[in-house]
Amino acid sequence: MAQQKKKKLIPVTDIVPSDSVIEQKTRKEPTQVILSDEAFSDVSDIKIDAFRDFGKSSHSASSRAALQPLPESWETPTPPRRKKRSYKGILAGMVVLAAAMYVVFGILPRVTVSIVAKKIPVQLQTSFSVVATSSITMTDTQVPGEIVTEQKTNIFKFPATGKETTQQKAKGTVVIFNTYSTAPQVLVATTRLQSPDGKIFRLVNRVVVPGAKKSGAVLEPGSIEADVVADQTGASYNIDPVDKFTIPGFQGSDKYNKFYASSVDPMAGGSDGQTTVATNDDVDKAQQDAVQKMKDSITSTIALKIPNEFTYVKGSEQFQILTKKVDTRLDKDNNFTVALEAQESVVIFKEGDIKSLLQKQAQQQGTIPTDYAEQQGTITYDQPVVDWKGGSMMLPVSYKAIFWKPIDVNQLRANILGKNESDLKTTVLSLQGIDKLTVSFWPFWVSHVPSSSSRVTITVE
């Protein structure tokens, strides 16, 4: 039996992968082909140079004969995966489209309605009587009012500028007290009063100090005011108020501690040699300044007392000086004083009462319809005439104003929601008192009023 020829296995790889290779793209093993010895001998003669001519003619016999086995390390190229459809991308696109539609149809549509109202000017000149009585009833020419009064007392200090050579004794006032008995005590003129620092002042006139009043077991001191003058000349006696002057004449007796005096104001006017004095010009200027300061002070106080709804006009006040006292004696700082008691009264009224009567007069004259209201207005008051005894004031008034028909913007906005341009204009122009109307839709493709009131702007001027 003839010896059977052995078969050899050799690895080969297709130059162009077949469909089976594509399906087995993940396998690394080369495809095995069984060849006979004769076939193997034929294949062994394949020259590697055939690869250089590969591609010149895929149908030529020489090209097919040029193939030779590839090394085992060579892998079949992996074809690209077929991409699956991306549902996330589709979803994102839909979201963007929905957002764009919301902006276009939900946010962008806006409408602006500009209305110019018909305006009627008014100008009046008239007078009103302001009556300051609690029982007054407002009429076409009369309004109720009040009189506010404030009274003050004050002492103002002013510097002296004059110079002269004199010898003057300080002067002042003291109050003498009797805590000794219920019997009165006579003190003659020149009776000495001594300050704690030893300065002597004397009574200018004779005085009788009243006796103390007995209330059970307690004595209430009797007292009297008296003028005193320093015992010596000189500015050193211009001393501050003293709580207790003693009476040296009573020293050594029970009366010494039971009779005493005190001063409220400083002693002043003492000088020795060249001294400062208040000149006539100083006094005149001081009185004018004191009066102005007093008036300003009272006026400020009255302004705080006037209720918020009330007002007053310049010329409706009355300022009076009730008492005035100028003391040219100088204190230790060379100041003299002007003491004033003053009072100021002013007539006040409610400006709202005046305005309502002015509007009523304009309507009664047929100048404006009754359903028109004041858009803006000014009231000017001329010089009033006050009857202080009668408690009344005649007040001339000038009035300039502009009236229009009020428009309820919120109600109008609600009425035009969702309407087209034609219906919108019809709704607005049906209102009274419209002089001009301008409607603006945005963007340009919008033709109806948005359904949301927040995207509707209405202005009235």
Residues linked to residue 346 through DSSP beta bridges, in sequence order: 148, 317
Residue 202: pLDDT above 90?
Answer: yes
The answer to whether residue 387 scores a pLDDT higher than 60 is yes
Among residues of the chain, what percentage have pLDDT more than 70? 77
Work out the pLDDT band at 318, boundaries 50, 70, 90.
Answer: very high
- Least confident range from 219-223, 248-252, 269-273, 449-453: namely 269-273
Domain ranges of the chain: 8-65, 107-118+406-460, 147-157+278-348, 163-276
182 φ, ψ to 5°? -80, -5
**What is the structure's pLDDT at 95?**
65
Task: Determine the pLDDT at residue 452.
Answer: 87
Contacts of the segment 288-296: beta carbons below 8 A, 24+ positions apart: 289/156, 289/158, 290/156, 290/158, 290/338, 290/340, 291/321, 291/340, 291/342, 293/154, 293/156, 294/152, 294/154, 294/156, 294/321, 294/340, 294/342, 295/319, 295/342, 295/344
More confident of the two residues 427 and 51: 427
Distance of CA 278 to the CA centre of its chain: 49
Of 104 and 129, the structure prediction assigns the larger pLDDT to 129
Predicted confidence at residue 7, as pLDDT, reads: 46
Q: For the chain, give the percent of residues with pLDDT over 90.
A: 48
Mean per-residue pLDDT, 77-90? 62
CA angle 324, 328, 330 (to 5 degrees): 130
Model's pTM, two decimal places?
0.53
Asked if pLDDT for residue 49 goes beyond 60, the answer is: no
pLDDT-derived band at 76 (thresholds 50, 70, 90) equals low
How high is the pLDDT of residue 255?
A: 94
Q: What is the pLDDT of residues 274-316, one digit of tens each?
A: 788 899 999 999 999 999 999 999 999 999 999 999 999 999 9
Which pLDDT belongs to residue 196?
95
447: confidence class by pLDDT, cuts 50, 70, 90: confident
In the numeric block, the tokens 């204190």 are attached to 331
pLDDT at 32: 47
Tell me the pLDDT tens digit for each residue of 344-385.
999 999 999 999 899 888 888 777 888 888 888 899 999 999
How many whole angstroms separate alpha carbon 176 and alpha carbon 433?
84
**Higher local confidence (pLDDT), 54 or 125:** 125
**Banded model confidence at residue 161, pLDDT cuts 50, 70, 90:** very high
Which of the two residues, 217 and 417, has the higher pLDDT score?
Answer: 417
The mean predicted confidence, pLDDT, of the chain is: 82
pLDDT at residue 20 tops 50: no
pLDDT of residue 72: 58
pLDDT, residue 73, reads 56
Q: Which pLDDT does position 117 carry in this prediction?
A: 87
Kindly tell me if the per-residue pLDDT of 460 is higher than 70.
yes
> Do residues 457 and 115 touch, judged by C-beta distance below 8 A?
no
- Look at residue 371 in the predicted model and tell me its pLDDT: 84
